Amino acid sequence: MSHRVNDDSSSTWETTPPAGDGPAEPTSRFSTPSSRSRSSSNGEDGSTPRFSKKKPKKKQPFWKELLVIFSVALLLTVVIQTFIARVFVIPSASMESTLHGCTGCVNDKVLVEKITYLFGDPRPGDVIVFRGPPNWTGGKQPPGFVQGTLQDLGSMVNLSEPSGTDFIKRVIAVGGQTVECCDEQGRVLVDGKPLDEPYLNFGPGPKQQEQFEKVTVPAGKLWVMGDNRNNSSDSRKHGDPTPADGAIPVDNVVGKARVIVIPVGRWGTISDHNPQTGGR
C-alpha cells in the first residue's frame, strides 16, 4: 500500500512497505524545483560547468587617446577662462611700475579672476581688466568668442598679438562720485578729498599730474586711471563728447587682476590699495 501527498511546494512524500515480514519502515524522497535546478546546472554527471571567457577589449590607437585628452583640456580651458579666471597680457606702459608693459621689456601676464564681481561691483583701488567702449577703441570691435579665446591663448605664448580692445587700469572713483585734479599738493580729489596713492609712478620727471575739471561719474560707470599717471591714456583722455564719457561701464569689466604669473621673477599679488581710505 502506498500513500502520496502533493503540496504547493511540489514536494513528494512516498512510503513503501519493505520486503519481508518485518514492520514497515518509511522511506522518503524529497525534491524541490530549486534542488532540481542546482542538479541540472551542475550537469548530469556532477561535473563543474564550463564558462566562456570574454574577449579582451581592443586597445584604442594612441592618436585617439591623445585627441580625447586634448579635447577635454580645451573644454576645461574654455570653461575656466569664461567663468572663473583668465590670463591676460596687455602691453601698455600705463600701469608701470605696478605692471610691466614697457617697450623692450617682458610684458607681465596677469591672472584675472571673475568670481569677485559676481557678488559686487569693483571698488576704488581695484586693478581691473575691461572691454574698451567705442570711444576707447576708436570703433574697433572686439573679436568673437572663439577668435578672442584663441587669440588670447596665442598671446600667452607669444604666438599672436592681444586683441587690442582690452585695457587694464585702476579704479579711482565709482558712479555718483566727483573726481578732479588737483589740490595744492598735486593730488587727485574724489568728493573733495585728496587720494592716498602710493602706487603712483612719475618717472624721472617732476611729480605733477595733468589737471582736469571736476567730473561727476555717471551711475553704473567707473573712473579709471593708470598708475603711470603722466603716461596713461585713461578716463581723462576718452571723454568724448563730454568729460563724463571717459568713464567705463561696469558691465564692461572682465575681472579683477590678482596675480602676476609671468615672468617668474616678478611673480606676486597685485595691490588693491584703496586710495580713498588710505588702503583700509
The catalytic residue positions are 94, 169
Distance separating alpha carbons of residues 109 and 88, to the nearest angstrom: 6
Distance separating alpha carbons of residues 13 and 31, to the nearest angstrom: 9
Backbone angles phi, psi at 201, to 5 degrees: -130, 120
Comparing CA positions, the residue from 241, 257, 269, 268 lying closest to residue 116 is 257
- Cell 589740490 found at: 183
Distance separating alpha carbons of residues 69 and 66, to the nearest angstrom: 5
Q: At what angle do helices 62-83 and 145-156 cross, to 10 degrees?
A: 100
Q: Is the peptide bond before 11 cis (omega within 30 degrees of 0)?
A: no
Question: Can you say whether the dihedral through the CA atoms of 213, 216, 218, 222 is positive or negative?
Answer: positive
Q: Are the C-beta atoms of residues 194 and 183 closer than 8 Å to each other?
A: yes
Local structure of 115: helix, strand or coil: coil
161 Cβ partners below 8 Å, 6+ apart?
A: 151, 155
